Structure 1
């Protein structure tokens, strides 16, 4: 029995090791002809030993013969001294004509006078990753389309509002027509707000971070919403000592939007007045120092479905709006490396909690004072 036959005999230690390998293993000669395949080749790809033995390795791995770099071809590998393993994610053609993506390692082996190629196939996540990348590319395309539509539709709505301005000059003596015009204006205004929200959702998030006290920022957004909604009966309480527990390095403008979305939802109560309590404390997230902010309102709790889907794009329980507010908030928080969740506390009402890394540099007393009490322009 020659050396090559001995290598693949049933008693050979090398063969036994290849047979028990958790991977699919193929051995080819210098010309790329397959000499041996273990049982996993049949289980994974559907080929019996008799079918694959004697066939060409590049028939199993079509990308090998398609590469411009011939140093990766089976024949060239056998003829060229190579110190490192070669390979990577590859398409394998299965017996039924389908394709499977696996990680392939091609190793040149010198067996006495015979040059061989060992091809080791292992399960690959590349197929999953390719699917995730494709899904991401589709989302990006949809986002660009939505952003473009929102921009163009916003321009059209603004032109419609300008036309209403002119029409109202002609309707100055007709109360009925003026009232209809005001209703149209309010509807157009709602549409403009919806398009702006869709545009913000579709736009990429870029951050400009500054050290920010989050509790006062939330309070200032609350005051703005009171003026906008004429909701002076609502009350807010900031719980916690006047310390740096709420200090984090975040994009101030982006977190204004987060607080706006959360508080706007809290304001939308069927029974009018709502009491809001904002608490803050230090915590950690993924072994990093962080800030936890809890915003509780004593209004209606979340519906059971809403607790699961609150941050899902376009999900809403309201008769108006796009259902993107909390989804935008989640994107902003996660862009900062944080997490956000909704819950119904035992005390009643509803609560939104988010945690963001602090990432705060060392600041002197004057800088801290400037953050807590920003100077008006």
Structure 2
């Protein structure tokens, strides 16, 4: 792996000393550095659109970082933006990352922390370029590689379905040939598929289009499609389409991006962990002492209770980020999932106590126990149930269905948790497991991301149900060990 090239870095900093310090560190590492004391000067610079990294002070004389983030993202879409600030405010960090910042550094800047951040961004850019180069090579080699090959007519009937396509999808050629692609494309709108095929016939060829298919066993695979119109297949034009399975590559890239984000969060959390825990513990102790001193005084006690509630919320946020950044090592032991969900619901009584909310099970007799880390799985179902309670107006009805299903890799326990709320939009379904994505006014947006990490650490998977009914449905599948 070759060393990453020097980067073009813009510094937006109104403090001359801080600006000079950053410039000295970066130029010593051979990066090309341009400095600006205000946002107006930076936005007027012709070098903005070609910048690789932008170091952005939280507060400039003519704009704040939150005001500039969407503008810089639009004007310099290829640049990574790193917030540099003297405010050690965790909520600000989460908000900046959610708005598109790549990292968040505290003043005074530690040279090694700055180099580590720039190094990660540089490496990621290099890997992205390598991915593009690899995809270009792939287009030339795809016909010689084991590929999903099919011949598709204008009416979407399949004339040929290759043996490798059978192995990848689990469908036999007899099931697909002479029929349409509906079994493979259930995640796609039929009208959209029709429009794409019509476009391909007009253009005459297809290169590098990614599409998700659904295999016989319910698993989803990503294929990179290339194709060309053949003028005469039994007297009429048809499409010769070659698909290369890129699921593993796509997952590897996603894991790489995820690991970079985890590394950044872990680095930030390491500096906050010790002092934050101590401060929270001291504050809690003082509040308990204060509450005992104010016994018999309801109004001051109410204020103390509110402070304790805020403390607990802060602790919960801290724990979410800590768990998200920490490695997961499940300690497996037999556990009856329906009983665990009932206990998790009971532990949320403080949330639903004064509401018309009910949890029910579709089957009164649950399946046998499965091997899981009980504490981790409780966190998964706690996040799912909390989201249902937050999304649903009264009356809240949450129904759980547990059933054993057969998969090629072995039997699975399928747990579907559905509610009677407004459901999820297409965008929410697509992004529900993305880090820092949330529709709530409070929280880090890491709850469902952590749930996915936990389920995958158990060898399972989690996703959004495809049901047509009202409400949202989250489906968890876990190996049942049979």
Shorter chain as denominator, the TM-score bin is 0.5 to 0.7
Shift of 1:240: 2.8
Could you say if the C-alpha distance between residues 343 and 170 of structure 1 is closer, same or farther in structure 2, counting changes exceeding 3 Å?
A: same
Shift of 1:356: 1.4
Taking only aligned residues, the RMSD between alpha carbons, in angstroms, comes to 3.4
Shift of 1:143: 4.0
| Equivalent in the alignment of 1:264 | 386
Shift of 1:298: 0.8
Aligned counterpart for 2:279 among listed residues 147, 156, 163: 156
Give the length in aligned residue pairs.
Answer: 237
Aligned counterpart for 2:317 among listed residues 173, 194, 210: 194
Could you say if the C-alpha distance between residues 232 and 356 of structure 1 is closer, same or farther in structure 2, counting changes exceeding 3 Å?
A: same
Deviates more, 1:299-308 or 1:233-242: 233-242
| Equivalent in the alignment of 1:182 | 305
Could you say if the C-alpha distance between residues 143 and 288 of structure 1 is closer, same or farther in structure 2, counting changes exceeding 3 Å?
A: farther
Shift of 1:353: 0.5
| Equivalent in the alignment of 2:404 | 282
Is residue 414 of structure 2 the alignment partner of residue 292 of structure 1?
yes
Secondary structure of 2:372 counterpart: strand
Secondary structure of 2:421 counterpart: coil
Gaps of 5+ in 1: 1-99, 103-126, 361-377
Could you say if the C-alpha distance between residues 217 and 161 of structure 1 is closer, same or farther in structure 2, counting changes exceeding 3 Å?
A: closer
- Distance, in Å, in 1 between the alignment partners of 2:251 and 2:373 is 31
- Distance, in Å, in 2 between the alignment partners of 1:137 and 1:270 is 34
Shift of 1:147: 3.9
CA contact (8 A) 2:392 2:420 kept: no
| Equivalent in the alignment of 1:225 | 348
Aligned counterpart for 2:450 among listed residues 312, 328, 343: 328
Secondary structure of 2:406 counterpart: strand
Secondary structure of 1:184 counterpart: helix
CA contact (8 A) 1:301 1:344 kept: no
Shift of 1:257: 1.3
- Distance, in Å, in 1 between the alignment partners of 2:455 and 2:354 is 27
Secondary structure of 1:268 counterpart: helix
Is residue 480 of structure 2 the alignment partner of residue 358 of structure 1?
yes
- Distance, in Å, in 2 between the alignment partners of 1:162 and 1:243 is 43
Could you say if the C-alpha distance between residues 273 and 154 of structure 1 is closer, same or farther in structure 2, counting changes exceeding 3 Å?
A: farther
TM-score of the aligned structures, taking structure 1 as reference length:
0.54
| Equivalent in the alignment of 2:460 | 338
Bigger Cα Rg = 1
* Pairing 1:1-377 to 2, within 5 Å after superposition: 138-148=260-270, 149-168=272-291, 177-226=300-349, 229-231=352-354, 233-240=356-363, 242=365, 244=367, 247-269=369-391, 271-343=393-465, 345-360=467-482
CA contact (8 A) 1:146 1:199 kept: no
Could you say if the C-alpha distance between residues 167 and 307 of structure 1 is closer, same or farther in structure 2, counting changes exceeding 3 Å?
A: same
Could you say if the C-alpha distance between residues 287 and 191 of structure 1 is closer, same or farther in structure 2, counting changes exceeding 3 Å?
A: same
Secondary structure of 1:185 counterpart: helix
CA contact (8 A) 2:344 2:381 kept: yes
Gaps of 5+ in 2: 1-132, 138-248
Could you say if the C-alpha distance between residues 326 and 243 of structure 1 is closer, same or farther in structure 2, counting changes exceeding 3 Å?
A: closer
- Distance, in Å, in 2 between the alignment partners of 1:285 and 1:338 is 12
Deviation readout 1:66-104 (Å, 9 max, x if unpaired):
xxxxxxxxxxxxxxxxxxxxxxxxxxxxxxxxxx999xx
Between 1 and 2, higher relative CO (CA 8 Å, sep ≥ 6) is seen in 1
Shift of 1:227: 5.0
Shift of 1:354: 1.3
Deviation readout 1:44-74 (Å, 9 max, x if unpaired):
xxxxxxxxxxxxxxxxxxxxxxxxxxxxxxx
Shift of 1:203: 1.5
Could you say if the C-alpha distance between residues 337 and 168 of structure 1 is closer, same or farther in structure 2, counting changes exceeding 3 Å?
A: closer
Could you say if the C-alpha distance between residues 177 and 227 of structure 1 is closer, same or farther in structure 2, counting changes exceeding 3 Å?
A: closer
